[in-house]
Structure 1
Amino acid sequence: MLSISALLIASQLARAGELPKIGEAAPNFNLPDQNGKIYTLADFHGKWLVLYFYPKDDTPGCTEQACNFRDDLNQLTGLGAQVVGISVDDSKSHADFAKKYSLPFPLLADKNAEVTTRYGVLRNLGIFKLARRYTFLIDPQGKISKVYDKVETSRHSKEIIEDLNKLLAAGKG
């Protein structure tokens, strides 16, 4: 059995793919949400996209993050942004999670971890794979505007609102 420290070391070494850089085109995706609807990056063209990757449905940090996005969704949409979550959980798990916490935004199922890998946020622990907690703020033209790699789940949605306000005030997007 692997020790906790061995798992932590493995998680640091097991990154696949490179993070997209600010100014680059966001990697495309084609994934089902909790209701089976397929979404692609093009579906969000012309809007800001808050694309957040999270490890696991219905776990404490992931629940806090999702519920804060839910609670701040009106502010985010008022700024022209849409919120989409991605994890390697399946659509059924996402449906249960969304129903339990009344999450009104798409949760995309990346069961094969292809998109998670494309965005450089895969944590491959051998026996299982998880998405690392990262958020990408994608501008209305589909380019990476900001990468959040140190996410505080309790205030992350507020941080994005602040950054969106700054970007909009600077005439971006």
Structure 2
Amino acid sequence: MLVKLVMYGLILWLAVWGYRQYSQPSARLSVGMKAPDFKLSDAQGGTRRLADWQGKWVVLYFYPKDDTPGCTKEACQFRDDIQQIHALGAEVVGISVDTVASHAGFAHKHRLPFPLLADTNGQVADAYGALFNLMVIQIAKRTTFVIDPQGTIAEIYSNVNPDGHSQVIINDLKRLSAF
């Protein structure tokens, strides 16, 4: 009985600790800083770098897992709003620690018209402060960065709620690009 209580207590402590780690906003990057460049594979097997979008606004969003309810909702809202986002001179780029094959299936299934990049070792998510690392489990935190045409971070959204996030981005792009 005592062993069970200790085990339950340990599991509860790990769950609380894990959630607190997951929900912590990034302190490493802030608005006005240069966005870290990266080199990652996309769902088609090509290689993409942040520099590929130089001269455009970039909505760089990190998400936990392909084909999960919240991630699907977020991706499909970006898909549905892509014309408005493009009209504001911006591109959408999704990053998670899933594989190229996983991204390819997710993008095809939901007809996603923007690149999904595979950060399988979590280095890019970590550079952006968007990596949840609990020993053997690594996932990207739901975090979005709006990067201006010069490659500077213009906005950071931590602990993103997928409901309506795309519209928040559109509204902020309108405000930011007015300058």
2:136 pairs, out of 127, 134, 139, with: 127
- Return the structure number with greater helix share: 2
Report runs of 4+ in structure 1 exceeding 4 Å deviation: none
Q: Percent sequence identity over matched residues?
A: 51
Q: Which moved more, 1:122-131 or 1:110-119?
A: 122-131
Q: Does residue 80 of structure 2 align to residue 71 of structure 1?
A: yes
- Tell me the amino acid that sits aligned with residue 49 of structure 1: V
- Tell me the amino acid that sits aligned with residue 83 of structure 2: N
Q: Does residue 112 of structure 2 align to residue 103 of structure 1?
A: yes
Looking at structure 2, the residues matched to 8 and 100 of structure 1 have their Cα atoms a distance apart, in angstroms, of 34
CA deviation profile, 1:15-54 (whole Å, cap 9, x unmatched): 7x74311011001110001001111011010000000000
Q: Does residue 146 of structure 2 align to residue 137 of structure 1?
A: yes
- Tell me the amino acid that sits aligned with residue 3 of structure 1: I
Gap regions ≥5 residues in structure 2: 1-6
Looking at structure 1, the residues matched to 140 and 12 of structure 2 have their Cα atoms a distance apart, in angstroms, of 18
Instruction: Say what the alpha-carbon RMSD is for the aligned residues.
Output: 1.8
Other-structure match for 2:124: 115
Q: Which moved more, 1:101-110 or 1:149-158?
A: 149-158
CA deviation profile, 1:85-143 (whole Å, cap 9, x unmatched): 00000000000100110111100000000101100111012221000000000000000
Following superposition of structure 1 onto structure 2, how do residues 20-169 of structure 1 map, counting pairs within 5 Å? 20-169=29-178
Change (3 A) 1:4 1:94: farther
Q: Computing the radius of gyration over CA atoms, which structure comes out larger, 1 or 2?
A: 2
Contact map agreement 1:11 1:124 (CA 8 A) in 2? no
Number of aligned pairs?
Answer: 170
Gap regions ≥5 residues in structure 1: none
Other-structure match for 2:18: 10
Other-structure match for 2:3: none
Looking at structure 2, the residues matched to 28 and 18 of structure 1 have their Cα atoms a distance apart, in angstroms, of 18
Contact map agreement 1:137 1:146 (CA 8 A) in 2? yes
Output the TM-score relative to the length of structure 1: 0.92
Looking at structure 2, the residues matched to 72 and 100 of structure 1 have their Cα atoms a distance apart, in angstroms, of 17
Contact map agreement 2:141 2:159 (CA 8 A) in 1? no
- Tell me the amino acid that sits aligned with residue 15 of structure 2: L
